[in-house]
Structure formats: structure tokens, C-alpha cells
């Protein structure tokens, strides 16, 4: 209910803004279609950004940050307006869930985030407006952008081939701050913004906090983290820059055709190095019933019978077929079992990973009886990413680019009147 009251209050302020601004001496800095952004809105949002990024507050810093924060607020108003048009506004439950997620990630107790905002002098609705826009934008991308994006098998093949050429080279765990250049006339502004952000990072601001507040890439909410970057999958200029960085070091701004980037190298390692416990196994299991209280002699006889029963089994389908022939036997498939997770049963951990595809291991004593396992396939045994992992990475990249195009169209179609110069 409190979230609903807050949102109603914000909505009323937007409706009454012209008269309230006049009565209280507020200055309208920008109009975004029918919405207005005042100097009070901007000053509170700048304060919120400074406090959450851990920067040393000063009048000079506030002045330097104001233009990029105002541009971000304009985009958020466009996103909220479009979400309203599409019937995709964030619900109170979704807002509360996002607050819960923030508190959990920060190690806060329930409700402590609002207390934190009040302690640093930031009205909670300032943060709620930003969170609401993030949720709305996620919904817009899912509804309007995702259906237009597809990853073909040929693209996956091409990426996998390029990845194979990089086996043994270095891969990087990377975060980024991204400022797009959607229009030629905004190129100078984008350069000023990325320079300001780079300056904040050099002054000691946590990279993840700056990325979360100001990056316009798809990974902003995750502190800009891209995860482990596959060699050869980034823009060549970004790949080259990564090769010059040491862990815990940020790059200078890097220009690509999409915009400006600042990269932060979290860690690096040899690509496709063998990590046996991370191999995924697709298995078929056949279980033969045996009482829990069976005597050692009974277990020994049942084991011998099970070994005879699987003689000649050369594939997972063979094991399924054999289970239908044996009284009381059952079979089933297990997909994506991580080798490391087999350690709970030392015999399984020792025998199953060594199997060739189609081979069988066991029988193993389990609570239900005796179990025989056949190996159907291995995934990632060469340390290379799976096709699904590559597909997901390509999808994220395409969604990011398509989302920027959608956002650019929203700006072009809108009536935006900025009263204050962006310098």
C-alpha cells in the first residue's frame, strides 16, 4: 500500500507540476511530451547518484554530473510513457520484489533500503522512479524487441569456429560502462559523458556502482558485468584494450561504431583450460529393485544378475529397452549432470566420467536398489562453451543493439524540450 501511495503521489506531482513549480519557485529544466523534469528532480537524482557511487560530493561534481543524469531521466520518462501506452507498467508487487532483491544483494534487512535513502538525504521516490523505469524497460524489450531478434544456427557455428581458434589463449572476466552514439549530433555529448564517468572511476568510485547508475548497456543493472568474455567475440578494439589491462584495472574510453566503452578487467584465465568437474553429462539410468535390508549375499547375487542383464548394452536406448525386459526394473534420463556433483557417491564419481559414449557403469547400490548408468553424451568436455551458451550470448548482444534502436525511435518520435544547456 505504501508503494501505491508513493506512486500516486508522484503521479499527482507530474499532473500538477506547472502550477506547483510556479508556486514553489521550481524551474522546469526539460519537458518530455507531457511530463516535466524540474531542477529539484534533477538535484535529488544527482545526489542519489553521488551517494550510491561513493563519490566525494562537491558543487563542481554536481555540475559536471547534471547533464548526463538529465539525459538519463529523459530516457526513463520515455520508457515509462511507452510502458503506459502498452499496458506494461510495473506493478506494486514487482517494485517491492526489486527492492527486496536490492536489499538481499546488499546484505540489508527488509525495509532497510528506504532507511538508507533517508539517511543520505534522498527521498525514496527518487530511487523508486528509476527502479520503475528499469522494470518497465525490461517488459518493453520482452514484448516489442525480443520477437524481432533471432540467433541462427549459422551464427552459432561461425562463433564456435572463431572460439576454437582461441583455445589456449586468455579469456577475460569483464565489466563495462557503455555510452551509445545514436545520432551524429550527439557524438560530442557522448564523449563528454564517457570522460566524466572515466574521471569518476579514476577518482575511486566503485566501477560497478558507476555502471549501474550511468551505463546504457544491457548489463547496467548487474554493475556492467559481462561475465567471462570469449576470445574473439568482442569488437577488435575492445579485445585489443583487454589485452593491455591487468586485473582490477579500468581502461581509458574506447570508441567503437556503437559508442564509447570503458572496460574493467575483473580477472583473466586460460581459455578452454580443462575443468573436469564442470563437464556436463547426459545419462540414462536403470534401477533394479532391492530391499534396503538385503543381506550381503543377496546384494552380491543381485549385482551379478545386473551385470549379466546389461551385457551387450551399447547405448542409452539399449538400456531403456533392457529395463522393459526385466521384471520390476525402471529407467529414466538425467540431463546436464555436472561431474563435480557426482562426488557424493565416490564410485559414481570415479567410474562414470571415464565412460565412452554408450558405455555403462555400475551397478551402484542406491536406496531404491541397484542402479546401472549409461553415458549418452558429454557437454563441454573440451572446455569450449556449449551451443546454448553461445546462443544466449549472441542473443544478449542482439537484444542490446535492438533495444538501443527502439530507444532511439522513442526519442525521435517524442517532443523533448530541454531548457538548460547540456554543457
Does the CA dihedral 347-348-353-358 come out positive or negative? positive
pLDDT at residue 83 is higher than 80: yes
For residue 360, pLDDT over 60 is answered with yes
Report the pLDDT averaged over residues 121-126: 87
Least confident of 151-165, 228-242, 351-365, 391-405: 228-242
Radius of gyration over every alpha carbon of the chain, rounded to an integer in angstroms: 28
Higher-confidence position of 230 and 338: 338
- The grid coordinates listed for 23 are 508556486
List own/partner pairs for 356-365 with CB under 8 A and 24 or more apart. Answer: 358/314, 358/315, 358/316, 360/310, 360/313, 360/319, 362/306, 363/288, 363/302, 363/303, 363/306, 363/307, 365/290, 365/299
Calpha distance 201→118 (Å, rounded): 26
Answering whether pTM is above 0.75, one says no
The larger pLDDT score, comparing residue 5 to residue 62, is at: 62
Please, what are the domains in the chain? 2-146 (1.10.4030.10), 166-273+399-418 (3.10.50.40), 276-379 (3.10.50.40)
Average pLDDT of 60-82? 91
Q: How far apart are CA 370 and CA 373, in angstroms?
A: 10
* Model pLDDT, residue 78: 96
Mean pLDDT confidence for 356-362:
88
Residue 10 clears pLDDT 50, i.e. is over it: no
* Residue 274 pLDDT level (bands cut at 50, 70, 90): low
Q: Which of 35-49, 166-180, 271-285, 344-358 has the lowest mean pLDDT?
A: 271-285
Q: How many CB atoms lie within 10 A of CB 143?
A: 13
Q: What share of the chain has pLDDT > 90, as a percent? A: 30
8 Å CB contact between 396 and 218: yes
Pairing of strands 360-366, 280-289: unpaired
Kindly tell me if the per-residue pLDDT of 106 is higher than 80.
no
pLDDT at 84: 95
Tens-place pLDDT, residues 181-237: 878 887 888 898 899 899 889 988 889 888 988 888 888 888 889 888 877 778 889
Q: The dihedral of CA 366, 372, 377, 382: what is its sign? A: positive
Instruction: Report the distance separating Cα 135 and Cα 138, nearest Å.
Output: 5
Q: What is the DSSP code string of 91-104?
A: PHHHHHHHHHHHHH
Write down the pLDDT at residue 365.
Answer: 87
Q: pLDDT band for 403, please (50, 70, 90 cuts).
A: very high
Q: How many CA atoms lie within 13 A of 234 on its CB side?
A: 25
Amino acid at each position: 500500500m505504501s508503494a501505491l501511495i508513493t506512486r500516486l503521489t508522484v503521479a499527482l506531482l507530474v499532473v500538477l507540476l506547472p502550477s506547483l513549480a510556479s508556486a514553489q519557485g521550481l524551474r522546469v529544466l526539460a519537458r518530455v511530451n507531457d511530463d516535466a523534469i524540474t531542477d529539484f528532480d534533477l538535484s535529488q537524482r544527482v545526489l542519489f547518484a553521488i551517494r550510491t557511487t561513493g563519490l566525494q560530493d562537491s558543487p563542481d561534481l554536481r555540475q559536471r554530473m547534471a547533464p548526463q543524469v538529465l539525459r538519463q531521466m529523459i530516457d526513463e520518462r520515455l520508457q515509462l510513457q511507452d510502458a503506459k501506452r502498452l499496458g506494461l507498467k510495473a506493478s506494486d508487487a514487482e517494485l517491492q520484489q526489486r527492492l527486496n532483491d536490492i536489499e538481499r544483494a546488499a546484505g540489508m534487512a527488509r525495509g532497510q533500503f528506504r532507511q538508507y535513502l533517508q539517511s543520505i538525504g534522498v527521498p525514496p521516490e527518487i530511487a523508486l522512479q528509476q527502479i520503475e523505469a528499469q522494470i518497465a524497460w525490461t517488459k518493453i524489450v520482452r514484448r516489442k524487441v525480443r520477437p524481432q531478434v533471432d540467433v541462427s544456427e549459422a551464427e552459432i557455428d561461425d562463433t564456435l569456429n572463431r572460439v576454437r581458434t582461441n583455445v589456449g589463449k586468455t579469456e577475460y572476466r569483464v565489466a563495462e560502462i557503455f555510452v551509445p552514439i545514436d545520432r551524429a549530433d550527439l557524438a560530442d555529448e557522448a564523449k563528454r559523458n564517457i570522460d566524466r564517468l572515466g574521471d569518476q572511476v579514476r577518482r575511486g568510485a566503485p566501477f560497478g556502482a558507476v555502471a549501474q547508475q550511468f551505463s546504457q548497456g544491457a548489463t547496467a543493472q548487474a554493475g556492467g558485468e559481462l561475465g567471462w568474455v570469449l576470445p574473439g567475440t568482442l569488437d577488435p578494439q575492445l579485445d585489443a584494450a583487454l589485452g593491455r589491462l591487468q586485473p582490477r584495472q579500468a581502461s581509458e574510453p574506447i570508441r567503437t561504431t556503437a559508442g564509447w566503452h570503458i572496460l574493467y578487467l575483473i580477472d583473466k584465465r586460460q581459455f578452454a583450460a580443462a575443468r573436469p568437474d564442470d563437464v556436463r553429462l547426459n545419462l540414462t539410468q536403470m534401477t533394479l529393485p532391492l530391499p534396503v535390508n538385503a543381506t550381503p549375499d543377496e546384494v552380491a547375487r543381485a549385482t551379478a544378475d545386473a551385470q549379466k542383464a546389461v551385457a551387450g548394452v551399447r547405448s542409452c536406448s539399449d538400456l531403456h529397452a533392457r529395463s522393459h525386459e526385466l521384471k520390476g526394473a525402471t529407467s529414466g534420463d538425467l540431463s546436464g549432470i555436472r561431474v563435480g556433483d557426482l562426488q557424493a557417491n565416490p564410485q559414481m564419481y570415479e567410474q562414470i566420467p571415464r565412460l565412452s559414449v554408450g558405455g555403462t557403469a555400475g551397478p551402484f547400490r542406491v536406496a531404491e536398489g541397484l542402479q546401472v548408468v549409461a553415458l549418452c553424451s558429454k557437454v563441454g568436455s573440451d572446455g569450449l562453451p556449449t551451443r546454448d551458451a553461445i546462443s544466449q550470448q549472441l542473443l544478449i548482444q542482439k537484444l542490446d543493439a535492438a533495444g538501443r534502436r527502439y530507444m532511439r525511435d522513442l526519442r525521435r518520435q517524442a517532443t523533448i524540450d530541454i531548457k538548460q544547456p547540456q554543457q
